[in-house]
Structure 1
C-alpha cells in the first residue's frame, strides 16, 4: 500500500548538510541565551520590551556566529545590521531547528523549549510590531516539498513502499540484508528519475524518500515498544484468571497505589493504556505539527501562572485537544470499552500548554524502550555461566525473572500513583504516564535492578545508552 497523502503532510523534511551547519549555530545561540530567565519572571517592567530585547539579542548572537563560520555570507547578510531585512534568513534558521526536533525528539532537550517560547512571544502583535519582522514560517514537510515541485505522484507510486522500507537485520543472513538494501536503493533511483521535474531535482526527491524512511525508523523506536509490551501482557497473563502468585490486582493504599482494580480490570486497564500510547506514537508527527500551530498561532495568547511546579505558560491547545479526542475515540472503539477516566489534561496546571503535552508523550519511548531492551537481553547475558547461576539461584530462571519484572511493571506503573495529590493522579489519560514515571524512579530499589545493570541499563532519561 502506498504512503498516505495525508500522513505525508506531517512528515518533516530531513535536514540537508548545509542546513545542519546552521542548526549547530542555532543550538549554540540558544545554549547561551538566557531568554526564559529574563522574560518568564514576575516583574513590573514591560514584558513586551524585555521579549523584544531578548529576541534581538538572540538574533545578534546568531548573526555573529554566522559571520564567524562564513565571513563572506555574514558580510553579505548583515552589512547594514538590519534585522527586518534578513527576515527570511532568521525565519529559516528557526524553522530548521523546529523541524530537526520533531524528527529527533531525543535532540535539543535543553534548547527546544527555549526556542518555542521565543517564537511564542515573537508571534504577539505588539512584539512583532516592534521587531519589524516575523520569526515563524511554515514547517517544510514531504508533502509540501513534493507539491511545490510538481512531484506528488511519488506518494501514489506503489514503488514508494520499497523505497522507504526499514531494513531490519534481526534473524536474517547477511546476503539477505544486502539484497534488501540493493532493492531499496534501486527503488529510490527509479522514483527519483521517474518524477524529477524542472522545479524538483532527483536529489530533492531522494531527500523526501529518506525523510519518509526516517519516519518509519521513528515509529520503530517509539511505537514498537508499546506493541512489544502488549505482546508480553497477553503472553504471560490471562484477562480471565490470575495464575497463583501472578495476580495483577492492586488496592488503594497498598504499595503506594491510588486505584483499586481486580486482576481482570487491571489487565484491561494496562492493555488500554499501552494501546492508547501506541496510537499516540503512531500519530505523533501530526500531533507535534498541530501543537506548534497551537503554540505559535497569532491570537492564541498565554498566561504566566504558578502551577505548583514553578511559573509556567498556560495556554489553550484546541487543535491538539481535538486530535487527542479523535485518537482516544479510535482506541476506545477498537477496544470495545474503557476502564478509568478519559479526561485529557491540556491548558491547565497539570499540562499547561501543547509543548508540555508533546514533551510528556515523547517520554513513553524513554520508559518502554529501555525496559524492553533489558528484558530482551536476558537471554543473551544468561549465556554466561556465572550470570546464569545468579539468575537461577536468585530469581528461579530467566523466564520467571522476565515474568516477575512484567508483573511489577503492570501492577505499579499503572496504579494511579506519582502525583502530589489525589486529583492530579488516578486513571486520567495523563495520570497513567505519571504513574509509569513514578515506577521508573523506584527501579534502583528493586531486587532485579542488578540484572538490569548487567544488560547495559543506564537509566530511563534517554541521555546515555538508550
Structure 2
C-alpha cells in the first residue's frame, strides 16, 4: 500500500474547545495577501518611500493643518494613480477619467488596507513606510479633513474570520483537523523521513478540509488560503514568542532561584555598574522570570494588540496632539483599546507569577510611549533582542566541535557551559536593572522600562568579554543591519 494512505487523516483530539479557541484567534489573524494584492502593495510601498508627508505635516509652525493634510493626502493619491497608470493602463485611465478621488474610494481603501494587513504579518517590512501610512490615515480620519477630502480612506483589516464569515465558512475552524493543517513543521532534531511524513500529514489534512467544506461561496483554494494564513501566524509566534520561552528555560536550567552559584549571583545594587535597581539574587531571579513571562504573553497576543492599536490610531473620536516629548516632536494620542487589553495581559501574568516584583505602570499615550504605533514598534523589538542571544547560546556546542575554537572557549571561559552561564548572568543582571533612561520614572521597573533596560544592555554588548563569541556564531546586530 502507498505510504501516504497509511497516514492518519485526523489528529489527536484536543483537551479543550478547539473551535472556540481557533475562532477567537482567527478574528485577529490577517488574511495572507493574494498575488494581485502584492502588485498593489509594491505600488503603495514605492509611493510612501518617496513622499515626505510627515516632514511637511508634523510641523508646529503650520497653522491651517486641515487644509495642508488634505493636500498631502491628495498628492499621495495622485502619486498612486500615476503608478497604477504605469502598471495597468486601463485601470489608470479609469482613475484619471474625472480626476475625482471620491469616485475611486474603494480602490484607495483597498490599497491602504493591503499595506496595513501586510505589515501586521511581516513586522520586519515597511519599517519607514508604515509609519507614514498610519499617520496619513490618522489625519484622514479627522472629521474636518474627511469632509474636505470627500472620501473615507479606512476600512477594517481583512482577517481569516471575516473572510470565512462572509462566505458562511466559519464552521471549518471548529474542525479538530484544523490544528494539524495549520501547525508549523519544525525540522530541528528530526530525520528527513520524519519531516517528510509530517509534511504529508499536513498536506493531507489541508486537502481533507478543503474538500469537506468547499461550497458555492467558498472554494477549495479559499480554504487553503485561510489555512495558510493561520499557519503564517504560527510561524510568527515561533519566531517572536518562542525566544522568550527559550531564555526562560536557560534561566531555570542554569540558575537556582534561591541559592546562587559562586560567581553567578544575579543580585544587583543601584549605583553600581549603571544599575538603577537593588535586588538580591532571589528577587532578581523572580523579576527576570516574570518579565520574560510577561513578554511572552504580550507576543502571544500581538496580532490582537496590533489590531486594537490600529483602531486606536485611526479613531475619529480620539485626536492626537503634537508634543515635544524630549525625544523630538511626537503625536501623543490616547490608546484606550490597547491599554485595556494590556492591563488584562498584565493581570494574567501577575496571576501566574503569584508574587510581582517592581512597578505595574503601563506607559501609553504619554511622552514615553506617545501612541499605539510606538507601542507596537517597542514590543516588536523583543524578538530582535532575544533571538540573537538564543542563536549564540544554541550554537556554542557547534563552535566547540572545532578544535581551535574549543581551546579558545576553554582558555577564556573554562568551557562551553561556563561561557553560556557568563553570557546569561550578564544579560539577566544588566538587561533587567532599570537603566537606559534619563530619570527613574522613564525606566526603572515599570512595564515599559523593562524593555528600555534590555535595549540599553544591547547597546553595550560590543564592550563585553564574550562579544567575540557572538561574532563567531554569526551575530550581525540586534537590529539585523550588520555589524561594523
Matched, 1:230 2:248: yes
**Where does 1:61-80 land on structure 2 (aligned, <5 Å)?**
61-80=79-98
Q: Match for 2:259 among 217, 220, 241? A: 241
Inter-partner Cα distance in structure 2 for 1:342 and 1:382:
42
Query: Superposed, which structure 2 residues align to 1:137-152 within 5 Å?
Result: 137-152=155-170
SS of equivalent residue, structure 2 residue 361 = coil
Residue 24 to residue 463, structure 1, CA distance change in 2 (3 Å): farther
**Is it true that 1:125 corresponds to 2:130 in the alignment?**
no
Deviation at 1:90, TM superposition (A): 0.3
Match of 1:48 among 54, 57, 66: 66
> Is 2:56 aligned against 1:32?
no
* Partner of residue 130, structure 2: 112
Shift in Å at residue 382 of structure 1?
1.7
Structure 2: 5+ residue runs without aligned partners?
A: 1-13
Match of 1:286 among 294, 298, 304: 304
Cα distance in 2 for partners of 1:179, 1:391 equals: 39
Which structure 2 residues correspond to residues 317-328 of structure 1 after superposition, within 5 A?
317-328=335-346
SS state of the match for residue 298, structure 1? coil
In structure 2, C-alpha distance between the alignment counterparts of 1:360 and 1:411, rounded to whole Å: 21
Supply the RMSD in Å over aligned alpha carbons: 1.0
Runs of 4+ that moved beyond 4 A? none
Q: Helix, strand or coil: the match of 2:468?
A: helix
2:470 is equivalent to residue 452 of structure 1: yes
Cα displacement string for residues 400-444 of structure 1 (whole angstroms, at most 9, x for unaligned residues): 000000000000000000001122110000000000000000000
Asked whether the equivalents of residues 106 and 462 of structure 1 are also in contact (C-alpha less than 8 Å), the reply is no
Does the Cα contact within 8 Å between 1:150 and 1:197 map onto a contact in 2? Answer: no
2:5 is aligned to none
Task: After TM superposition, give the deviation of residue 34 of structure 1 in Å.
Answer: 0.3
Superposition deviation, residue 199 in structure 1: 1.6
Deviation at 1:76, TM superposition (A): 2.6
- What is the DSSP-based 3-state SS (H/G/I as helix, E as strand, rest coil) of the residue aligned with 1:423? coil
CA positional deviation for 1:464: 5.4
1:329-340 residue pairs with structure 2 within 5 A? 329-340=347-358
Secondary structure of 2:374's aligned partner = helix
Cross-structure match for 1:267: 285
> 1-side partners of 2:200 and 2:481: how far apart?
34
| Aligned mates of 1:393, 1:159 — CA distance in 2 | 53
Tell me what 1:442 maps to. 460
The equivalent position to 1:83 in structure 2, one of 101, 110, 113, is: 101
Structure 1 residues 315-366: Cα deviation after superposition (integer angstroms, max 9, x where no partner): 0001000000000000111111100000000010000011111110010000
Shift of 1:49: 1.1
Query: What are the within-5 Å matches in structure 2 for residues 406-425 of structure 1?
Result: 406-425=424-443
Distance 1:200 1:121 in 2: 37
Q: CA deviation at 1:391?
A: 1.0
What is the match of residue 354 of structure 1? 372
Matched, 1:11 2:42: no
Aligned partners of 1:160 and 1:187 also within 8 Å? yes
Find the residue that maps to 2:330 and give its secondary structure. strand
Q: With structure 1 as the length reference, what TM-score do the two structures score?
A: 0.98
Give the C-alpha shift of residue 463 in structure 1.
3.9
Q: Does 1:20 align with 2:41?
A: no
Q: Deviations over 1:3-29 (max 9, x none)?
A: 521111000000011111110110000
Counterparts of 1:173 and 1:30, CA distance in 2: 45
For the residue of structure 2 that corresponds to 1:4, the secondary structure is: helix
SS at match of 1:456: coil
Report the Cα distance in structure 2 between the residues aligned to 1:161 and 1:108, rounded to whole angstroms: 31
Equivalent pairs, count: 465
